[in-house]
Structure 1
Amino acid sequence: MSSLRTSRTRLVAAAATAVLATLSLSACSDGTGTQDEGSGSSTSSSSAAPSPTTASNSPAPSGSSAGKAPSAATGSSGAGSAGGAGSAGGATTTTARTSAPKAPAASGKPVTCEGSTTKTVAAPLTRPVNHMLLSVTNTGSKSCYLYGYPAVRFGDAQAVPPVIEDSQPQAVVTLNPGESGYASVNLSATDGSGANGYTAKSLAVYFQGRSGNGSVGAGAHPSLPAKGVYVDDSLKVTYWQQSMDDAVSW
Structure 2
Amino acid sequence: MRTFRRTRLLAATGAALTALALTACEDGTGTRVEGTSAPAATPTAPASATPSTEGSPSGTPESTAAAEPEKTPEEKPASDTPTRAPSAAAGADDGPVRTICNGSNTKVTAQPVPRPLNHMLLTVTNTGSKPCNLMYYPVLRFDEMQWVPQARPETKPQAVPTLAPGESGYAGVLLSAADGSGDGGTTARKLTVAFQGGTPNSDGGASATPPLPAGGVYYDSSLTVTYWQSSMENALG
Please tell me the TM-score bracket, short chain as reference. Answer: 0.5 to 0.7
Residue correspondence of structure 1 range 125-204 to structure 2 within 5 A: 125-204=113-192
**Structure 2 portions without partners, runs of 5+:** 1-95
1:182–1:241: 8 Å Cα contact kept in structure 2? Answer: yes
Q: Is 1:234 aligned with 2:212?
A: no
Among residues 215, 221, 227, which one is paired with 2:209 in the alignment?
A: 221
1:109–1:143: 8 Å Cα contact kept in structure 2? Answer: no
Structure 1 partner of 2:110: 122
2:198–2:204: 8 Å Cα contact kept in structure 1? Answer: no
Quote how far apart the aligned CAs of 1:215 are: 2.6
Quote how far apart the aligned CAs of 1:234 are: 0.5
Structure 1 partner of 2:197: 209
Runs of 4+ in 1 over 3 A off after TM superposition: none
1:123–1:132: 8 Å Cα contact kept in structure 2? Answer: yes
2:113–2:121: 8 Å Cα contact kept in structure 1? Answer: yes
Structure 2 partner of 1:84: none
- Give the secondary structure class of the aligned counterpart of 1:172: coil
Q: Given residue 141 of structure 1, which amino acid in structure 2 is its aligned partner?
A: S
Quote how far apart the aligned CAs of 1:173 are: 0.6
Alignment deviations for residues 6-54 of structure 1 (CA, whole Å, 9 cap, x no partner)? xxxxxxxxxxxxxxxxxxxxxxxxxxxxxxxxxxxxxxxxxxxxxxxxx
Distance 1:234 1:215 in 2: 25
- Give the secondary structure class of the aligned counterpart of 2:112: strand
Structure 2 partner of 1:53: none
**Structure 1 portions without partners, runs of 5+:** 1-107
Distance 2:140 2:203 in 1: 11
Distance 1:148 1:192 in 2: 29
Alignment deviations for residues 185-235 of structure 1 (CA, whole Å, 9 cap, x no partner)? 000000000000000010000000110123321100000011100000000
Distance 2:194 2:133 in 1: 14
- Give the secondary structure class of the aligned counterpart of 2:151: coil
Structure 2 partner of 1:111: 99
Quote how far apart the aligned CAs of 1:109 are: 4.7
- Give the secondary structure class of the aligned counterpart of 1:157: coil
- Give the secondary structure class of the aligned counterpart of 2:162: strand
Q: Is 1:247 aligned with 2:230?
A: no
TM-score by length of 2: 0.59
2:192–2:209: 8 Å Cα contact kept in structure 1? Answer: yes
2:169–2:230: 8 Å Cα contact kept in structure 1? Answer: yes
Distance 1:214 1:206 in 2: 10
Q: Given residue 153 of structure 2, which amino acid in structure 1 is its aligned partner?
A: E
Alignment deviations for residues 101-132 of structure 1 (CA, whole Å, 9 cap, x no partner)? xxxxxxx7520111000000000011111000
Alignment deviations for residues 122-159 of structure 1 (CA, whole Å, 9 cap, x no partner)? 00011111000000000001100001000000111122
Identity among equivalent positions (%) equals 57
Distance 2:202 2:181 in 1: 30
1:206–1:220: 8 Å Cα contact kept in structure 2? Answer: yes
When Rg is computed on C-alpha atoms for both structures, the one with the higher figure is 1
Q: Given residue 165 of structure 2, which amino acid in structure 1 is its aligned partner?
A: P
Distance 2:183 2:172 in 1: 20
- Give the secondary structure class of the aligned counterpart of 2:206: strand
Q: Given residue 237 of structure 1, which amino acid in structure 2 is its aligned partner?
A: V
1:206–1:218: 8 Å Cα contact kept in structure 2? Answer: yes
- Give the secondary structure class of the aligned counterpart of 1:247: helix
Distance 1:182 1:213 in 2: 19
